[in-house]
Structure 1
């Protein structure tokens, strides 16, 4: 869940500067300011993702992952438009880090006998997702898959969909056991 749920974020975010400059038409100098929007989104997502996870863990986690996949797909479709891109960069931050508390809480709930080990492994899974996402985005660009750079957000959305499938499966397994 964590690897693929979070890999989608870094499939796109690793290449956010070329997306913003080469596709959306922003100046290189404006990228840092745009990333402030992402940072504000991260803060909001982390706060409200935690509150939602406390109320209804799996439904909120699935909902936030769906929001993440939709945001990435919309970024793929709307990145030529500056205003839409700014909104989507903010929403990407919200959705990306809205998943973090729920993924961490799910891991802790699942591994009650060894919470420290589970937490450590989940952080490793986030890092593996970061690396996998950057690698997959690079493959899309290098091989020109689906249009290269323009297809990176779309491929990020597909990676997140894999994370959603694992989350649905994990939810089903935890209800059984």
Structure 2
């Protein structure tokens, strides 16, 4: 199979980095919003929840899809392959873990708080539980993203995995 040339690889790296910046930057923004903005009115809670959901649905999702697509292109059309290096295998594993955390845990918590202002008057327990879920898992996601970033830069365990 034909591999990407130098210019193609530079463009691929550019798109991969842009997607990573999107994912990490929006993760930071979502966590900052959750911590720094503490609305007391139902309207404020609704607005905050909607802002966080928009970041999640548009930008985080775009970053994740961008990372996955560019990683697949890296795997198919460059010398790196998918699992030829241990550090790549760890990155794939952590990326899958982050996607699952986002999809199974964070997504429902974020979406669960996007309601009409009246909902907050009688559902504060649910709102608080969803915020607590985000307060635990949001920083976990940022930590994992940071670990993946560090692995990408330092490429530890660089020995190739032997194929039988």
- Shorter-chain TM-score range: 0.3 to 0.5
Which of the two has higher C-alpha Rg?
2
Relative to total residues, which structure has the larger helix share, 1 or 2?
1
Q: Normalised by the size of structure 2, how large is the TM-score?
A: 0.46
